[in-house]
Structure 1
Amino acid sequence: MRYHTLMEGFPKERKYKGVIAVNNSKTLPKRSEIPAEYKWRLEDIYKSDADWENDVRKVKELAEQIAAKKGTLSQGGQQLLDVLKLQDELLMTLDQVYVYARMRRDEDNTNSTYQALTDRATALSTQVYGAISYIQPEILAIPTEQLEAWINQVPGLDHYRILLDEITRFKPHTLSAEEEAILANVSEIASAPSKIYGMLNNADIKFPMITDENGEEVELTKGRYVQFMECKDRRVRKEAFEALYATYDKHRNTIAASLTSAVKADVFYARTRKYPSALYAALFADNVDISVYDNLIATIREHLPLMHRYIALRKKMLGVDELHMYDLYVPIVPEVEMKIPYQQAVETIKEALRPLGEDYGRVLAEGFAGGWIDVYENQGKTSGAYSWGAYTTHPYVLMNYQDNVNNMFTLAHEMGHALHSYYSNQTQPYTYADYKIFVAEVASTLNEALLMHHLLQTTTDKKQRMYLINYYLEQFRTTVFRQTMFAEFEKTVHAKAEQDEPLTADSLSEIYRELNVAYHGPEMVVDSQIDLEWARVPHFYRNFYVYKYATGFSAATSLAKQILEEGQPAVERYLQFLKSGSSDYPLNLLKKAGVDMTSPQPIREALSVFAEMLTEMEQLAGAN
């Protein structure tokens, strides 16, 4: 199952707000009032709920069958093959069951029928994963030489070579059954820091009232904070900024204790499993060398003068004597009226993605017309946007479309995920159709890059052009520079924990401040409040994850550049990448596509695009 989402807040800071264009009323329509052509067609998964019930029964039967084979994998290659084939059938059917129930619920979360189906599907998933939990430990217990002999001797087992290699790759870091049982039992304790932080950050922490641009008293919330940071009234931005961090400052020692405990848990697991470091352990799952992480930080550091130029430009265009941290999100280009109805967005995206060739265009058109997309907001519908689906059907995209540029880019982004899934599912067997998170954002971001290129090629209005360039520059700032700064913070903090250096609220703030000063440069006033920003970043509890945003964006930008400059050869490499699923490791797949992420070159190529856009923006701003 794939579930690609765009979340509000970190890291994209996209927002979905307003009322859809389906009706002129300010009241959201009911689901039944949305025209059929704007709804996805979940009947392509199951024609009726009764068909879903049939597969629920099938999943239960298959789970019983596979559970009964526990303890047999060491008996021979045929027994191993039988279980692996049964596992594929079980999980493929479970995917379909779960996806259908959840997506039906997402249509209208107030629908009790699909609330119940989703709950049942979730319970069924727990049951299934319990039934197959013995498979990996039993495979790891088989001597490597014996496993290799079976693969060569038993017809059909060779199909699972990549899967088996991936499992056995973890053998040096897998403990005895008794030790693994102990680690499993302490996993809930180890996850406590994240849970505690989540409860504090999402439930207990309360922010004060502030005065908005209309002079009205409003409660500050995390969701409203992003909006306040974009407010044209600088007093509002400053007041929201200071109020937010004053609130976190009251909890600084508690949050420092939770983050430090989470970091120590990462170090504990890495040491216990005999990894050289926590960073090595986190990257091992994707078979990514530490050099990729280090290259990213080193290359961004090398190009920080570009970031400093952008900060200077922002200061100039805002016309302020001092640029503060609360001035980073307010638009530097006056808002431009660019109303883009859904059908116009569809046609624009089709045109923008023409460089990807006829076949990509054919599938894209099929997706837009073939019941893949749930377009508009309705009462009870899940907010935001995502791409999802099961192996056995075409992909799906959930939108809450508003008539603006942001939503057009979101649509292009999600269709990038959808076509990645489509090509992978069409080409790969179920075993290897899913793809790693490391490469997941490449296809979606590449679509955005091509859309931006098309808009800049076809836009003649100077204000619109400046608006688009600023939009693109902000994507680089928040996704490449900012996420790399986060990644460097994580690396530094974990290294200090591994050297048994104490981590406190003060030391964490000191590390974070030094990074902000380095990344933002001399034209930025680094307000003391920002030293505490580490306290409000939930991604730090998902260790060494954020760097993937920056590498994915860089890889996509580099590939888009190759496609526009080379044409067909680059397109063929890219389509092969989309078709590859997890048939190879992420770095190998990207290298075949034309991007070597073990080298700084793709990041440099991406930053060359940033430099071009920045230079043009400087020229346009100077001409004003």
Structure 2
Amino acid sequence: MSQTSTGLPSRDEIQPEYKWQIKDIYASEQLWQADFDNVKNDLSKVAKYKGILAQSIRNLIACLKLRDEINILAGKLFAYARLQRDENSANAKYQALVGKTEGLLAETSAATSFIEPEILAIPDDVLTTFRREHFLAEYSFYFDNLLRQRQHILSPVEEEILSRSAEATQAAETIFNMLAHADMKFPDITGEDGKPLALSEGRYRSLIMSPDRRVRKEAFTGLFGSYNAFRNTFAATLSGNVKKNIFYARTRKFNSTLESALSDGNIPVSVYDNLLTTVNNNLAPLHRYIDLKKKALKLDKVHMYDLYTPLAKAVKFNISYSEGLKLVRDSLAPLGPEYTGILNKGLTSGWIDVYENKGKQTGAYCWGVYGVHPFVLLNYNDRLEDVSTLAHEMGHAIHSYYSQAIQPYTTSQYTIFSAEVASTTNEILLNDFLLKTTKNTKKKLYLINQYLEMVRATVYRQTMFAEFEKSIYDKAEHGETLTADLLDELWHILNVKYYGPDMMVDSEIDIEWARIPHFYSNFYVYQYVTGYAAATALAQQILAEGDGAQERYIDFLKSGGSDYPINILKKAGVNMSKARPIELTLGRFSNMLDELEKTITNS
């Protein structure tokens, strides 16, 4: 099913085989409500443990077990509501259900907020005795990690106040999502066939790659013009979110919001700073790529709307969803029969919501639901990029599947730092497979360019995002107001620096910061870069070493959150505390750029 008509289908027009099966979480809303009531009831039971955790290991473990049971149910409740809301963001019923569940999550957080401060108040000798005399393997890493963060955990009363504030402080992100995904209206443009075409976020991803420069420009100006009309509102929502994160970081006695954001995974701030430094020291290959694009497209200047244009003209990959499934299966075969068996299960068992429809959440994501299975949202539109997205999200899905199958709940949640490794390894293996099996010169040229685009978008672009984030938090932490004008200026300057002298940085791009949902998950995007660098190293090992590297990789997926991500990756064969994996990735980018230049010269 290709989304090429002038109007998007309604949800009801999508065939059932292309929809995820929400009933796998709850077969009916009545069952959902029953578990909602169960959580409410269990919350009242938690209170009886308040003040008695230090009395016995029995009390402590019983309380932690009850909290796990509550959190598992709360996770299912939220997934059921949120996934259905994302099917159609304008659906008031599921907007309300999400709001109701967010309220419950806030209650849950508040009701259990005494637990960690109370554990930390247990005298060290008593807690050591508890851990020595009772085999608590399930909670061993939890205790180690908790004690590491002792200085940032507040008193029980303060923790409860912070927990109760969570629902209110989500307002900025909620307003952003409603404005960007439900209320935003985009103009019609004239398509390649000369007919009116409804512009949407989902369609923009195809239109910006059109061989017709007029179409690219119309889509570009139409999309960013729409965002620019609300620039002050978007500045207010982003500023509100930044202030929220600064408030929590300072309240928890961190030196900066960046340090706070990295703390959960025990990632040193130096890893973030080294990333920015390493990429900034290696901008020359990106500038060379832009220069090559200018020559190949015969342009005086490369405009921002030319950036995604494939260099291989007249090459189109119209890949149906069924063909995309086969490519993903074949390319991931080096991961072994166990992995591909789980992959096939996910592809055929209602894990995936495939096509765009009116009101559907844009982009793509994977949502793991403990005790059920992962769910994957796509907006598949028959492009090669959509196949890559499918491979990427199934990497997340199988990571979640392994982690939740092997790990107890308390260590089943892997960090974001690890998450992007699993997804990007799949993308790299897909790209390698296509490069090896494609004989057509023009298509091979396209694929080389696609690899370069992947690195540009994942390493260079996301590092630019990370640098923007660091800049706005630095300014806000020093008392500057994040106005639309300031955000536009910062974004423009970074685009000029990253893309170099051959890029015409059009004024329309200055508002692009308003479109990036990941800025509402503070200091998230840098992990796309570290994840890609780690994945590059791991994919090379898997393809070169075979079974040994494959086994280490599967062990990495099974590890979940049982250790700090840098330690887990070291066991898999990659040291992310060093700059080497990033340098390796940018070195490969430069080598592939050489090959692209040769291919263009010889074709």
TM-score by length of 2: 0.85
Which residue of structure 1 aligns with residue 435 of structure 2?
Answer: 456
1:292-343 superposed Cα distances (whole Å, 9 cap, x missing partner): 1112111211221110111011111211112222321333332534343444
Which residue of structure 2 aligns with residue 6 of structure 1?
Answer: none
1:540 and 2:526 equivalent? no
Distance in 2, Cα, partners of 1:34 & 1:226: 25
Among 306, 319, 326, the alignment partner of 1:327 is 306
Q: Report the number of matched residues.
A: 602
Which residue of structure 1 aligns with residue 64 of structure 2?
Answer: 84
- Give the AA of the match of 1:296: L
Superposition map of 1:170-569 within 5 A: 170-177=149-156, 179-180=158-159, 229-235=208-214, 237-238=216-217, 241=220, 259=238, 262-263=241-242, 265-370=244-349, 372-373=351-352, 385-399=364-378, 401-500=380-479, 507-569=486-548
- Stretches of structure 2 that go unaligned for 5 or more consecutive residues are none
> Aligned-pair distance for 1:583?
0.3
Among 558, 568, 592, the alignment partner of 1:589 is 568
Higher relative contact order (CA 8 A, sep 6+): 1
- Give the AA of the match of 2:64: L
The structure-2 alpha-carbon separation of the partners of 1:524 and 1:397, relative to structure 1 and needing over 3 Å to count, comes to closer
- Give the AA of the match of 1:318: L
1:73 and 2:59 equivalent? no
1:176-230 superposed Cα distances (whole Å, 9 cap, x missing partner): 4555566567767766665666677668877778776677788877666655543
> Aligned-pair distance for 1:580?
0.3
> Aligned-pair distance for 1:405?
2.3
Q: Helix, strand or coil for the counterpart of 1:68?
A: helix
- Give the AA of the match of 2:307: L
Distance in 2, Cα, partners of 1:530 & 1:118: 33
Which residue of structure 1 aligns with residue 112 of structure 2?
Answer: 132
Distance in 1, Cα, partners of 2:312 & 2:38: 57
Distance in 2, Cα, partners of 1:27 & 1:545: 33
Which residue of structure 1 aligns with residue 584 of structure 2?
Answer: 605
Q: Helix, strand or coil for the counterpart of 1:448?
A: helix
Calculate the aligned-residue CA RMSD, in Å.
Answer: 4.1
The question of whether the paired residues in 1 share the 8 Å contact of 2:492 and 2:510 is answered with: yes
Q: Helix, strand or coil for the counterpart of 1:276?
A: coil
TM-score by length of 1: 0.82
Q: Helix, strand or coil for the counterpart of 2:367?
A: strand
1:413-449 superposed Cα distances (whole Å, 9 cap, x missing partner): 2221221122212221122112112211211111111
> Aligned-pair distance for 1:499?
4.6
The question of whether the paired residues in 2 share the 8 Å contact of 1:374 and 1:399 is answered with: yes
The structure-2 alpha-carbon separation of the partners of 1:516 and 1:51, relative to structure 1 and needing over 3 Å to count, comes to closer
Distance in 1, Cα, partners of 2:107 & 2:149: 25
The structure-2 alpha-carbon separation of the partners of 1:294 and 1:128, relative to structure 1 and needing over 3 Å to count, comes to closer
The question of whether the paired residues in 2 share the 8 Å contact of 1:356 and 1:571 is answered with: yes
1:345-374 superposed Cα distances (whole Å, 9 cap, x missing partner): 333322211211232233323434455445
> Aligned-pair distance for 1:54?
6.2
- Give the AA of the match of 1:620: T
Distance in 2, Cα, partners of 1:176 & 1:385: 39
1:149 and 2:152 equivalent? no
- Give the AA of the match of 1:66: V
1:244-267 superposed Cα distances (whole Å, 9 cap, x missing partner): 666766766676566556545544
Which residue of structure 2 aligns with residue 17 of structure 1?
Answer: 3
The structure-2 alpha-carbon separation of the partners of 1:295 and 1:17, relative to structure 1 and needing over 3 Å to count, comes to farther
Distance in 1, Cα, partners of 2:187 & 2:13: 36
1:268-293 superposed Cα distances (whole Å, 9 cap, x missing partner): 54344322222212211221111111
1:456-507 superposed Cα distances (whole Å, 9 cap, x missing partner): 1101111221222222222211121011011112223333444556766555
Distance in 1, Cα, partners of 2:222 & 2:274: 37
Distance in 1, Cα, partners of 2:518 & 2:325: 33
Of 428-437 and 489-498, deviating more is 489-498
Distance in 1, Cα, partners of 2:11 & 2:251: 55
Q: Helix, strand or coil for the counterpart of 2:570?
A: helix
> Aligned-pair distance for 1:122?
6.0
1:578-613 superposed Cα distances (whole Å, 9 cap, x missing partner): 000100111111121112111111112222332233
The question of whether the paired residues in 2 share the 8 Å contact of 1:435 and 1:581 is answered with: yes
- Give the AA of the match of 1:79: N
- Give the AA of the match of 2:116: Q
The structure-2 alpha-carbon separation of the partners of 1:113 and 1:534, relative to structure 1 and needing over 3 Å to count, comes to closer
The question of whether the paired residues in 2 share the 8 Å contact of 1:34 and 1:378 is answered with: no
The structure-2 alpha-carbon separation of the partners of 1:423 and 1:342, relative to structure 1 and needing over 3 Å to count, comes to same
- Stretches of structure 1 that go unaligned for 5 or more consecutive residues are 1-15, 20-24
Distance in 2, Cα, partners of 1:43 & 1:208: 36
